[in-house]
Structure 1
């Protein structure tokens, strides 16, 4: 039997170190923006690719059901990564880089919020969605890893996980989702 305990310990230690670097003030600002959107009837869109798409979808579940369940004024989250048919039609007929911006052109209103999740911060389809959202007067929240890439620079609000490890960045993005959901559900 192989002994993986040193590698397991190293991964867990790195995750703990990264969590200690996350700005609590940035999280607080994002939570206040999300609450403002909820109370003003604004829509909140999420998007990402791969594991980040999974986190984007998970947020919709946690906020639309978990946080909203016992609130009179509910959250209105929608994950742009969840409609495979629309994404594939756009990717096939137009460009994969436009799979999020085209649905936003049908739905996004001034004052809405777009949460873009990208480990690198450079996913072109999320970058294009951010550019469109900013053009239309929506607020943007970037959840990134590594250096934060283009999304961190473009975002109105940033939840940046400063680590050059995709798995840990994605882990922490989900932790941040659960942290916000847990606190806001108790309000």
Structure 2
């Protein structure tokens, strides 16, 4: 099998391993997101690098639409405002670029969904800690070990892999599943 086939098989195997885990974690996350939207709260999403792109992708699906033409849902990726992020990083250090935004925007009952393949990104961990003190519900999407996020997030989805690309592929797959469940539950079509 060539490199293409190997990588496709790794992706398939990781998703099969995810299918063999406790899928109730995904259902629980969906239920929390649905309840949050029903209570007129927001979901904020964060991540670094490819995980920042995942945060933006899922926010876009919620604000725009996933499969159903419906009203927009309040979701904000805190990874998108380059002026805010670079000014905070410059003035306070990169590890605070999300914490400052969390302090400014999140209120009790909101969700902070944090993508980190290792679960150990200092800036992500710091933001989750601050969000919890503000009364937000915190959700971590990580790799197999869960890193520090598994111990500080209210809910942690651990993808059964240590391979960053495979973890990220599963993160976006689960993100799409969540969007589908949320749309069906809130807009019943």
TM-score (norm 1): 0.91
What is the aligned partner in structure 2 of residue 76 from structure 1? 74
Change (3 A) 1:93 1:167: same
Q: Does 1:143 align with 2:141?
A: yes
Deviations 1:65-104 (A, max 9, x none): 2158425xx5211111111111111111111000001011
SS at match of 2:119: coil
Match of 2:95 among 87, 97, 120: 97
Q: Does 1:183 align with 2:181?
A: yes
Q: Is the 8 A contact 1:148 1:162 kept in 2?
A: no
Structure 2: gaps (5+ residues): none
Instruction: Give the total of aligned pairs.
Output: 184
CA distance in 1, matches of 2:104, 2:124: 16
Deviations 1:33-61 (A, max 9, x none): 00011010111110000010000000101
CA distance in 1, matches of 2:34, 2:8: 37
1:6 Cα offset (Å):
4.8
Match of 1:124 among 122, 125, 137: 122
CA distance in 1, matches of 2:60, 2:85: 20
The 5 Å alignment of 1:21-36 reads: 21-36=20-35
Change (3 A) 1:124 1:9: closer
1:25 Cα offset (Å):
0.4
SS at match of 1:149: coil
Q: Which moved more, 1:161-170 or 1:18-27?
A: 18-27
1:21 Cα offset (Å):
3.2
CA distance in 1, matches of 2:113, 2:158: 13
CA distance in 1, matches of 2:11, 2:128: 33
What is the aligned partner in structure 1 of residue 55 from structure 2? 56
TM-score (norm 2): 0.90
Change (3 A) 1:16 1:59: closer
RMSD between aligned alpha carbons?
Answer: 1.8
Q: Does 1:88 align with 2:105?
A: no
Structure 1 runs (4+) greater than 4 angstroms displaced: none
What is the aligned partner in structure 1 of residue 41 from structure 2? 42
Structure 1: gaps (5+ residues): none
Q: Is the 8 A contact 1:116 1:142 kept in 2?
A: yes
1:113 Cα offset (Å):
0.7
